[in-house]
Chain A
Amino acid sequence: MPNHNTARYTAEEEYPDLEKHANHMAHCLTKEIYKKMRAVQTPSGFTIDNAIQTGVDNPGHPFIMTVGCVAGDEESYETFADLFDPVIEARHNGYKKSDMHKTDIDPDHLKGGENLDPKYVLSSRVRTGRSIRGLCLPPHCSRAERRKVEQISCEALAKLDGELKGNYYSLKGMTDKQQDQLIEDHFLFDKPVSPLLLASGMARDWPDARGIWHNDKKNFLVWINEEDHLRVISMEKGGNMNAVFKRWCTGLQLVEKHMKESGYEYMWNPHLGYILTCPSNLGTGVRAGVHLKIPKLSQQPKFDEILKKLRLQKRGTGGVDTASTDGTFDISNADRLGFSEVELVQMVIDGVEFMIDLEKKLEKGESIEAEVDGLKQK
């Protein structure tokens, strides 16, 4: 929305109180930067206040250092570069304004990952997000734009066939029976409850133009208009991460091909890779992960250090805002930008194999000190 109060108050009077805050936005948004950003807005009317609202309303997260700002459209990253560039640099390991991002979604480049031990690896999953160029993102889109995203996505998905052939279930129109089935399959996503998402305005007009598409085989799934325009997910039980990744690459590229046939494309540029709502998802937007049963390893004092060296992160099996309850963790790549999709999935595969070896050793009562000390930072 236009900043009609801009003329009436100084930037100093408007500047948010970030004293108790610990997120990337709070660390990067100086008064000078805020003053400069306050004078501009994107062509669709997205302002710096819109971008930072989630970070102002949510001082910090107990498990993860949050970003604290979102994009309302593709132009946000350029218009508010003075804020987004340092946030991106901080969140993505020193990624500079001049850096170029590499994209690699060729599954043939992946080594191994066909049979991660299913005694430890309960399930494997790869997800990413995609945004449709020309339409505003979930924090800012109008109902008409959101419906357009749904329409474009459904048209493209309807063209998938073979293993990927499937159906769309609109959140608004699904029957009780369909809803129960989707819940049972763990496919259904619900209105966000996380204050991080609510504060940015992503839940407006729920459940209008939200829905779930999945293939008949139930291992390729697309969420429409949740946190991003599209979330594309490939998953299956067990440890065949390689197959999961291959299906994911195929599906993703086919959907893009079909969109282009209708005259649409994904938001992408050579510096930031794929453009998504949250700066933390820029680049590949990839989160490749497993549910890993490591009750012994996870109790080790050096567990977090190991994860850090492997460039992996842990979450509870309920997703980003949960904690682990029984030694089963969601383990996934920590990075998104600056590494290609293949590189990230490879890190997960290699890292998980390593951790399974450690867990096995611990089960036998053996020491893992040598392996842990010898582990080099990736």
Chain B
Amino acid sequence: MFSKKVGVAVAAASSAALWYKTREQHVAGARLPPTRELKYPPGADFPDLKNHHNIMKNHLTPGCYAKLRDVTTPNGFTLDQCIQTGVDNQGHPFIKIVGLTACDEESYETFKDLFYPVIKERHNGYDPEVDTHPIDLNPAHIKGGKLDEKYVLSSRVRTGRAIRGLPHPPVCSRAERREVENIAIAAFQGLSSDLSGQYYSLKTMSEADQDKLIEDHFLFDKPVSPLLTSAGMARDWPDARGIFHNDEKNFLVWVNEEDHLRLISMEKGGDMKSVFARFCKGVNQIEKVVGEIGWEFQKSENLGYILTCPSNCGNGLRCGVHVKLPLLSKDKRFNDILDKLRLQKRGTGGVDTAAVGGTFDISNLDRLGKSEVQLVQEVIDGVNLLVEMEKRLEKRGSIDRLMPK
């Protein structure tokens, strides 16, 4: 079965590779159908972002929009498609959302007049025009990494990957999405030993499988966040969506949710070093097999690994823990401490939730400009410090001397 799938994939891959080469010759800057272009000047289409708070709004000037409105990527995608989520979701003055999605790999370049400044703002001044992004998926470079399990309940590392030549979830066609799934399935069959496992298609899984996946907290559902649905990511649900996990249930891959692939390594407790080691092994093995069947990941020197949301470019890495900090979290300086450590807090239900009972999801803030090893090390060192502070507070001591600079 593996060879048959590989055979089909190779055939598709070679024609895909040829197609992609031809696409590269297509001039980025193709015009839209004349009817729309001639009738209305760009100004008439400029979105009203007066009440909006997102990074896209900060950089989409009328001049920028006028220049880019009638331009399409080689795959035929437009700026309007990229900004739709930011137009439809006003955002909040306190929470900085990006408001922009990349329709395909080329979006970043075709619409760089908007994407580059957005990336610069979102990633602390990283300038895609001149900076290069470091990649380091060697777990041997991590120092320490065994966190105090009296406080750290679980450890997790996730990233995303996109398949070169296929558009992203906001705009991909059903055939393209299914192609991603086929590639992923072939890649999973190449995983061995502690990573070998099984793929469950969201569409065909049995009720028993579904219940088990829910119990393991592995099942992902149709997105309900308007940030994702207004970008078009939930179309054709649940077609070509699925979940792979290894037999040991500590390495997991989501197929066709917000990105082509989301790769997750996790386990209970605080052994972040082990979590990251397995993460690297899985990510590297999958990349290798994907290459063997004629595909590759979207990647560039200045943007690192390329994903749907500009906030995830670079390594797409979110390395985090569920950690109990009931005393420290009540300290007025908590947010400031996190900021200095380049960490962010979330509720344990994920990005749109609040913390319950003093237990927080603490993870790295940064993505682009730092390597995977750097970010994981920052989380390890940062969480160690937070736990030390919590212990000090338990003993009613002062944490003044422990404050990060």
Q: Shortest Cβ distance from B221 into chain A, in angstroms?
A: 14
Instruction: Tally inter-chain residue pairs, CB-CB below 8 A.
Output: 87
A205 to B179, alpha carbons, bound, how many Å?
31
Report how many residues on chain A are interfacial, defined by Cβ distance under 8 Å: 35
In the complex, residue of chain B having the shortest beta-carbon distance to the beta carbon of A142: B45
5 closest A-B pairs by CB? A144-B44, A9-B175, A144-B40, A4-B76, A13-B175
The residues in B between 165 and 218 inclusive whose CB is less than 8 angstroms from any CB of A are: 171, 173-176, 178-179, 203
A205 with B236, Cβ < 8 A, contacts A14-B175, A172-B48 known: no
A8 to B81, alpha carbons, bound, how many Å?
22
Contact B173 A57 (CB under 8 A): no
Contact A5 B45 (CB under 8 A): no
Q: Is A174 an interface residue (CB 8 A)?
A: no
Q: Is B230 an interface residue (CB 8 A)?
A: yes
Contact B239 A17 (CB under 8 A): yes
A7 to B36, alpha carbons, bound, how many Å?
24
In the complex, residue of chain A having the shortest beta-carbon distance to the beta carbon of B34: A43
Interface string of B9-28 (1 = CB under 8 A from A): 00000011001000000000
Chain B residues with CB under 8 A of A43: 33, 35
Q: Shortest Cβ distance from B98 into chain A, in angstroms?
A: 18
Interface string of A1-35 (1 = CB under 8 A from B): 11111011110011111000000000000000000
In the complex, residue of chain A having the shortest beta-carbon distance to the beta carbon of B46: A143
Contact B36 A204 (CB under 8 A): no
Contact A205 B47 (CB under 8 A): yes
Chain B residues with CB under 8 A of A205: 47, 87-88
Q: Is A82 an interface residue (CB 8 A)?
A: no
A7 to B75, alpha carbons, bound, how many Å?
12
Chain A residues with CB under 8 A of B256: none
Q: Is B386 an interface residue (CB 8 A)?
A: no
Interface string of A178-215 (1 = CB under 8 A from B): 00000000000000000000110001111010000000
Q: Shortest Cβ distance from B233 into chain A, in angstroms?
A: 12
Q: Shortest Cβ distance from A239 into chain B, in angstroms?
A: 41
A70 to B305, alpha carbons, bound, how many Å?
38
In the complex, residue of chain B having the shortest beta-carbon distance to the beta carbon of A10: B175
Most buried by A among B47, B76, B81: B76
Chain B residues with CB under 8 A of A343: none
Could you tell me which A residues sit within 8 Å of B by CB distance? 1-5, 7-10, 13-17, 43-45, 49, 53, 56-57, 142-145, 147-148, 172, 198-199, 203-206, 208
Contact A44 B35 (CB under 8 A): yes
In the complex, residue of chain A having the shortest beta-carbon distance to the beta carbon of B42: A144
The one of A5, A45, A144, A198 that contacts B175, using a Cβ cutoff of 8 Å: A5
In the complex, residue of chain B having the shortest beta-carbon distance to the beta carbon of A56: B236
Q: Is B235 an interface residue (CB 8 A)?
A: yes
The one of A5, A143, A203, A204 that contacts B176, using a Cβ cutoff of 8 Å: A5
Chain A residues with CB under 8 A of B203: 17
Contact B173 A14 (CB under 8 A): yes
Chain B residues with CB under 8 A of A5: 75, 173, 175-176
Chain B residues with CB under 8 A of A206: 88
Contact B175 A56 (CB under 8 A): no
In the complex, residue of chain B having the shortest beta-carbon distance to the beta carbon of A1: B76
Interface string of B65-89 (1 = CB under 8 A from A): 0000000001111101100100110
Contact B75 A204 (CB under 8 A): no
Q: Shortest Cβ distance from B297 into chain A, in angstroms?
A: 20
Q: Shortest Cβ distance from A4 into chain B, in angstroms?
A: 4
Q: Shortest Cβ distance from A277 into chain B, in angstroms?
A: 19
Q: Is B118 an interface residue (CB 8 A)?
A: no
In the complex, residue of chain B having the shortest beta-carbon distance to the beta carbon of A147: B44
Contact B176 A9 (CB under 8 A): yes
